[in-house]
Every structure is written in structure tokens, then in C-alpha cells.
Structure 1
Amino acid sequence: MAKMVIGGKPTDAVSGMTLDVLSPTDGLVFSNIPRGQAEDVDLAVNAARSALDGKWGQLTALERGRLLLRLSQTVLDHIDELTQLEAKDTGKALTTARNDILALARYFEYYGGGADKIHGQVIPFLNDYAVQVIREPLGVTAHVIPWNYPAQMLGRTVAPALAMGNACVVKPAEDACMSVIRVAELALETGFPSGALNIVTGLGEEAGASLARHPGINFISFTGSNEVGVLIQQAAALNAVKCVLELGGKSAHVVFDDVNFKLAVPAIVKGIVGNTGQTCTAGSRLLVQKGIYDEFMAALAEEFSKTRAGTPEMNLNCGPLINKAQFERVNRYIKKGLEDGMTVRAEGKIASGVPEGGYFVTPTLFSAKDHTSVLLTEEIFGPVLVALPFSDEAEAIRLANATEYGLQGAIWTENGGRQQRVAKGMKAGQIYINSFGAGGGIELPFGGVKKSGHGREKGFIALEEMSTTKTIVQFHGE
């Protein structure tokens, strides 16, 4: 059985209660985690506060950076172990899981190198005055992270917080948190002071809710559904706590008639089946100009039909979905697409020999006549892509913006002027031109607009989000 990490020690829940951990590959229990409650959150927040008042808070930016760099190397030293753990917990293909661990190490490396690169300001003011603006840690930062990328998300949210000198309390998703716990253990082995990084496992409505409304936190980040994001923001508001929210998306590919087929087709397929479509930035909408619609869809259908779903060891395009509820949700959307009169243009296949009880779903490519179906407006979170024709640039922009979300998008055209016009017209936090990436690189600022949330992660801007400014005004006259 795994344990929480609070105050530098492996810890059971105060109540003694536990939760089963199921493998998405076969639906069977393979471990247990503590079912943390409000009292466990109290212990973790107090441990983080003590760390700030103690050894962790006394470290310089250089020293924090060196610890993060050492942790990056420690993660790489344990990459095989962490890859297997991530694949078992989430059902990801082994290659995908390994790439996630490499990204985790890169987060620690990037922010370790940046810890002492955040500078203050000197502001010209009145005669006989000196004014400086310095950056300080926020304090105790809370991090509620999702099940789709547990290892990556830990690095994305915790690494910049630690780099800026905050002490962290992480509540990972109960569906997938084994790698998160193990990395916290490795951080202690690397030399992080007790209480700098604390992990509380449990249910969202119990441990997560208790953390979000805890009066002892100074910041909260959340990645997940819009519905829970609203609850997080409401809870944070009770204590006037700043929050950063990444709440999903309905990303559109906009394909014009001068598209490079060889670039676009494989990228669009990979962008929806990667991580079994369980990605906030998944390119789940495809808008194709009418003049090439039939030709492009034929090429796309051929590529899409090659996709396969299987176990982590099979190392295919897709693994299983994370749990039974998600399995049922995605299949409901596929059924709804058929009821709405959509045409199935291509399907992947579930590999033979997958275990019974696994949450495997068939990758599906639909074509639609208009943008009215919920499959084009709601986040499915599975390997389901819906295509729709458009006539001109103006209609393409209108359709791309025709959802409540605004996280990511892609433009496929060789026309430089069109690239800029459409990029500026699309309402999203990140736009790709003739390429597509799930959230982009560690170095690239990332976040959404509209109901995709607010605030930015990744890149140096995350260090600003994880800190606050203090203005110091000194009179030095006689």
C-alpha cells in the first residue's frame, strides 16, 4: 500500500481509511492509497508552513535551484521504475509514460536553472528616494492535479512553486497518483527539507475540497473540469486566495486548401488519439476548407483507420480510458454522434488479446454537416474527432471560436498573411501554425481564455504566477 507524504514522513490517513487503486487495463485492484480527510490536510498545510519558517525558507534561490536540478537527475536515474508505475496507474502506452517522465525531469531541470534568474526592479521616483520591487514566495501553495498526466502535472505546477521558495501541498487525483507519491519520496532522498513537498491522497470532494478552502494556503492551482474549477475558485475566494485554473478545451484544427497533407494528416491523428484523447488540448474538432474537404478526409480516414488501442506493453496509439465512468462517458458521446446523424468516416481498432474488464474504446472519426451537435461543443476526453467543412477565412474563425472553451488551436496553411490573421482571430491561449502539440513545451507559456480558465503555467511566466511583488520605498535624504 502507498502512503501519503506529510512533513517528510510516509503517512497513513488519520482515520485509517483507504481507497482501492484500479488498473485501467483490466479494472482490477492493484494497490491502495490513504483516504485523506480534513485533518490530514491540516497536518500537511502545517508541515508546509513549518518548512517555510524553518530550513526550506532559509535556502537561497541558488540552493533551491540546485536541489531541483538534483531531483531532475534523480528522476532520470529512476526512469524505468517511474515509467512502469505511470503506465500501470494510467494505462498509458509505455512510450507515452516514458515521455511523461522525461517531461517531469525537464520541468525540474528548467525551473532549477531559472530559480535564481528572476530579478526585481529599480523604479525612478522622487529626489532622495530609492524604490525597489522584489519578488517573494506566496507561502503555502496548494496544487490539485488531474489523473491524465499525474507525473507531468506534478512537475508543471510544483517545480516553479518550489523554485520561487513556496512550500507545496499536492492533492493528486485518486484515480492515478502513484508516480506523484514516489517522486515526493525521491525528493526527500535528494535532500529536500521536510515539509517542502507534501502529498495528501483521497477523494476530491473530501481532501480536495478541504485543501481548496483551507485558511492556511496562500495560492491554489487546479487542472480539471470546468464544474470543479468553479468550486475551487469559490473556495479560494473565501480566503481571498489567488488561483490559476486550467479547465479543459475543445481545440480546433483549421485546415485551408493550401495545406501540406504530409504534415497535417499524421499530426491531426496523433493530436486526438495521443493519451487516448484524455488531454485538455486534444484537437477534437477539425475544420476543413470545402475545396479540399473530400480529398483531405480520405487521406485522414486512411491514417485514422491505422490507430490501435491496447495495453501499455503493446505500446500502441491508445491505451484504455482511466476508469469505468470515463469509458461510459466516451461511449455515450459516440452513440450520440450516431443519433445526431453524423457519418463515421473511419475507426481504429482495439487490439486482440486485451484483458476483459479493461476500459478500451474504439477511436472514431466522424463528419458532421453543421456545428450544432454537442460532440462539437463539449469536451469528450476520448479518441473522438469530428470534422466539418467551411467556406472561407471568416467562417473558419467563427467556427473555431464557437465553443465556450479557448485553450489551444492549430492553423494549417502556407499563406503567411492568413496564418497571422487567423491566429489573431482565434480565441485561445496557444495557437500552432503547421504543427500541433499537447500543451506545447515546458518553455512555452500555457493557459486558456473563456471557460478554459485563467492564469499561465509553463515558461518563465509561471515563476511570476508563483510569487508576489513587494515594493520597498526608502527615503535617504537629510
Structure 2
Amino acid sequence: MSAVRDSLVEEALATGTLKGLPDGHFIDGRFVASEAGGRMESFDPGRGAAFAGFAAGTAADVDAAVAAARRALAGEWGRATPAERGRVLNRLAALIRDNADRLAVVESLDSGKRLVEAEGDVRGAARAFEYYAGAADKLHGASIPLGPDYVGFTIEEPIGVAAQIIPWNYPLSTAARGIAPALAAGCAVVAKPAEQTPFTCLMLAELAHRAGLPAGVFNVVTGTGREAGAPLTDHPSIDHITFTGSVDTGIRVMQTAAKHVTRLVLELGGKSPLAVMADADPDAALNGVMEAIFENAGQICSAGSRLVIERSIADGFIDRLAGRMEGLSIGHGLRNPAIGPVNSAAQLAKIAGHVEQAKAAGNIIHAGGNIARPSNAADGWFFQPTVVAARGVKDPIVQEEIFGPVLAVQVVDGLDEAIAAANCTDYALVAGIYTRDLSKAYRYARAVDAGQVYINEYFAGGIEVPFGGNRKSGFGREKGMEGLRSYCKLKSVVARI
């Protein structure tokens, strides 16, 4: 138990806020107010009330941040060796660990997620910078054999200024998985965190500056998507955009990027299937299903939001699942319940609307199904963990991303039907399977369209494993060495000798 963490939790629960939160955009190595003077509020989802204010950015602030990034690339950062970049990122990883308690409490307070989950996100962010610190001086081109009269080789060059549009469900870890490889490659960054969760990205930028990152290399502009995000993605001096968010917004970002032929990595929605075969270890599968859908109150693009289960074990498994769910505590994220709040009143209304539609259509609700009002957080935004039986592959509960603690159940007969069920949506981000038969597992992994497949453990892997989707789940890859190459442009050089 950390005394610092406990003190911060006590302060936040007692006062509804924390002292010393970042104030202003972080541009050119310092916190600055919005040029237009605008301010916004950030809400604590566990209380349903504002806890702090922050700068509301506009196109003028974006212009200032992009200009600072351009200057930084023309200065010492553009001349830094890969090893020097790696040393800065290693120092940043250490500073994240040194400030882990405060980062985790702020992340929980701002996003609503359980403190234990926020602590895991902080550890993952530190690991991301550590991983890419080690990769910075190992990114190299290739020699091309052209015969005795030529020398041919390739060079991986930094793409330039990279925009990062960061979502509200994983503010710190999503920022780290994009910003760390961008910096390792030698890029400069302008980040726009979600207006619901701005603070840990601002804290990260300040820590990066303390770690020795030159002014202007890592800038953060806060504000709404319309007033700050859109000008950033439409900026002609942006060389690359990494966007994580909804399909509809991703389409608009892609259309905007086309005007300037700006490179993109899009990580969009998901409706990921988790298959449980009759031969699976039932306890491991049950634990895996619970984690896959109820972590972060189901607000994960890669959540296992569809249980695809063989008919012979379906009734017993669902009964056990519903029984486990009845005992789950619901409450403020800083109190570490089993299920925390959803991020906003709008998100709560969206989740409730999906479930009410399913009820009206005749779907069986096996567990949950209602807005929750826990006694110690009655004004927060909570939804009961819910299991809904699907009426068929076209059922909206199967096809539509809900982004909450709602699990759709599809019953199948055998592996072939499980594969067909897994592939029945427009999304193709993640898939999982529980089975003792590795032949079945590998057949499933090959046949299901997904960017990554988990076998006998959902959310397996870490920063080393490439992540991204296909079809309406987006394109491009983050994490791993593929994520580093996303921030590079390949140059070929050929010389006659």
C-alpha cells in the first residue's frame, strides 16, 4: 500500500478534486492559456460532477503547437542520435514510475476507471516508453543486392510532425502507445486528448520535458474535437495522424486527411467475439469472459463483447456467469469496486438505449440490464453488468458497438459455426477462443478476420505485440516494431560505383 496514493485518494474523495492539476495547454515546453481565453470543465464519472477546469483550445492554439513542433524538428531534436533519443525515453519511463501514484489517481478520477486498472495503465505507459527507448537505436534499413556495380540501401526516416488524437477510455496508455514510438523514431508530436479526460496527457508532457525532451517536441492542446481536434487533423503542416475513436469520427478524420494526403493510423470500433468451445477449461473460460467484457466497465474497443459458445455447455456456463455477476460491487473508481462508472452521462444514456431496444425486441436478459445507483455514489454514471441473448446474427445487440458492460451471447454448434459467428459483423479488431484443442484454436485464428487473436487468455501480450484492426475497425498497427515503423518514411538510395 502506498501512503502517497492513499493520501491522494483521501483528498479526492473528501474534496471532490486534487490540488496542483495541470492548467493550460502544454506548448513549446510550458503550460500556456488558450489564446482565446476559453475554459472547460472535466467531470468525475463516479460523482457525476465537475472536479477541475482546463483550457479550451482553438485553431490558434493548434497553430502555435504545430509551429513549436516544426521548430523543434529543425533544432536539436532533429540532430539527436537514436541513442540520445532512447536515453530521454528511458528517463521518462523512470519519471512515470516515480509519479505513478499521482498519475493513477488522476486517471481514475478523470476517466472513472477503477484505481487498480489505472495503476495497471500507468505501469503499461512506463513500459511503452522503456520498450521504445530500447528500440530507438535498432531501427535500421536494409542492404539491397544489385550486383557488383551498385550499392543499394534503405533508410528509415522520421515522418515529421505526428498528430495524436487520444480517446477518453484509456487516456494515458493510448497516449503512450502512440507518442513513445513517434518520439523514438525522431518525430515531434502534437497531442489532443479527449475533452473528457485531458489531465494525464498534460502531466505526461511535463514529465517528458523534465526527462530532457527539448521544448516543442511534445505538445498538448486540450479542448473539444470540433474546436481543437478538427483544426489539428486539417492542419497542412501535420505529416501523420494517429486517431483512436469511433468509426464515424474516424471517417471524417480520413476525409480531412485526404485533402493534404496525410498519412493515417486509424484504430476504430470493435465488436469482438470470444468463443468458448465445449472442451475448454470452464473456470479459465469464465474468468476470461468476465475480464474481457467487464474491465473498464466494458469501455474498451477490443472488449470481448460477444460470447460465442457451443450449445452443449451454453446453459450451464451462462448460469455460472450470471451468478458471478450478481456479486459484483459497483461504485466510485477510487474505491476499487468490481465495476466502476461509465465515462459520461451521454455514454450511460447510449448504453441504456441499446439495452432497452434489446428488451423491446424480445431479447432475453440473463443478468443486469438497468442503470445502477450504488448507495455510495448515487449521482454517478453506472450501468449494471449485463448479459443479453442474441436472437440471430443480424440482431443489433450483435452488430452494434455498445461500449459498456453489456455482453451479447451467440449460441453455436461446433467450430465452423463459431468461426461464422465470429466473422458476422463489420468489425475485425480482436477475437479470442478458449479450447483445449490447439488444432481448433489455430484453425479459428486463421479463419477469423481480426488484427489479433487471443488463445486461452483474453488481452494476452503487451507493448511488444502489434495491435490494430481490419475493415471498420481501422487500419495500420500500433505497438511492437510495426508501431515504430508507422512513424517512419522509407527512403531508397542507389549508387553506381
TM-score (norm 1): 0.97
Contact 1:408 1:428 in 2 (8 A): yes
Following superposition, the deviation at residue 373 of structure 1 comes to 1.9
Shift in alpha-carbon separation, 1:226–1:353, aligned structure 2, 3 A: same
After superposition, the C-alpha distances for 1:273-322 in whole angstroms (9 at most, x for unaligned) are 10010000111111111111112212222222222221123201221111
Whether contact under 8 Å (1:340, 1:373) holds in the other structure is no
- CA, structure 1 residues 429+32, in 2 after alignment: closer, same or farther (shift >3 Å)? same
Residue deviations 1:333-376 (CA, integer Å, cap 9, x gap): 11112112111212399574333321111111112332232111
Q: Which of 351, 354, 357 does residue 376 from structure 2 map onto?
A: 354
Show CA shifts across 1:421-473 (max 9, x none). Answer: 111111110101111017x4111000001100000000111111110111111
Q: 1:52 to 1:78 in 2, by over 3 A?
A: same
CA distance in 1, matches of 2:336, 2:402: 23
Provide the residue aligned with 1:150 in structure 2.
Answer: 171
Instruction: Report the equivalent of 2:129.
Output: 108
Q: Does 1:401 align with 2:433?
A: no
Distance 1:2 1:152 in 2: 21
| Aligned 8 A contact 1:301 1:365 in 2 | yes
- Identical columns (%): 41
Contact residue 122 and residue 132 of structure 1 kept, 8 A: yes
1:96 paired to 2:117: yes
2:216 maps to 1:195: yes
**1:367/1:388 contact within 8 Å kept:** yes
Q: Does 1:382 align with 2:404?
A: yes
Paired with 1:451 and 1:368, the residues of 2 have a C-alpha distance of 21
C-alpha distance in 1 between matches for 2:31 and 2:353: 40
Structure 1 match to 2:25: 4
| 1:200–1:207 Cα contact (<8 Å) kept | yes
The separation in 2 between residues aligned to 1:86 and 1:265, in whole angstroms, is 28
For each residue in 1:376-415, what CA deviation from the matched residue of structure 2 results, as whole angstroms up to 9, or x when unmatched? 1111000000112111222211111110100001111111
Match of 1:57 in 2: 78
CA contact (8 A) 1:369 1:389 kept: no
User: Number of aligned pairs?
Assistant: 475
Distance in 1 (CA, whole Å) between partners of 2:373 and 2:353 is 21
Q: Corresponding residue for 1:370? A: 392
Does the 8 Å contact 1:140/1:218 carry over to 2?
Answer: yes
RMSD of equivalent CA atoms:
1.4
Structure 1 position 27, deviation (Å): 1.8
Q: Write the letter of the residue equivalent to 2:444.
A: V
Contact map agreement 1:305 1:348 (CA 8 A) in 2 = no
The residue type paired with residue 395 of structure 1 is E
Name the aligned partner's letter for residue 154 of structure 1.
Answer: A
> Partners in 2 of 1:252 and 1:43 — Cα distance?
43
Of 429, 445, 453, 1:423 maps to: 445
- Distance in 1 (CA, whole Å) between partners of 2:304 and 2:271 is 7
2:90 aligned with 1:69, yes or no?
yes
- What TM-score, normalized by structure 2, do the two folds share? 0.93
Tell me the equivalent position of 1:337.
358
Q: Which runs of 5+ in 1 are unaligned?
A: none
Q: What does the per-residue CA deviation read over 1:116-152, in whole Å, with 9 as the maximum and x for residues that have no partner?
A: 0112111111432111101100000011010000000
Aligned to 1:241: 262
1:172-251 matches, cutoff 5 A: 172-251=193-272
Report the residue type matching 1:147 in the other structure.
W
Residue of structure 1 aligned with 2:289, choices 265, 268, 271: 268
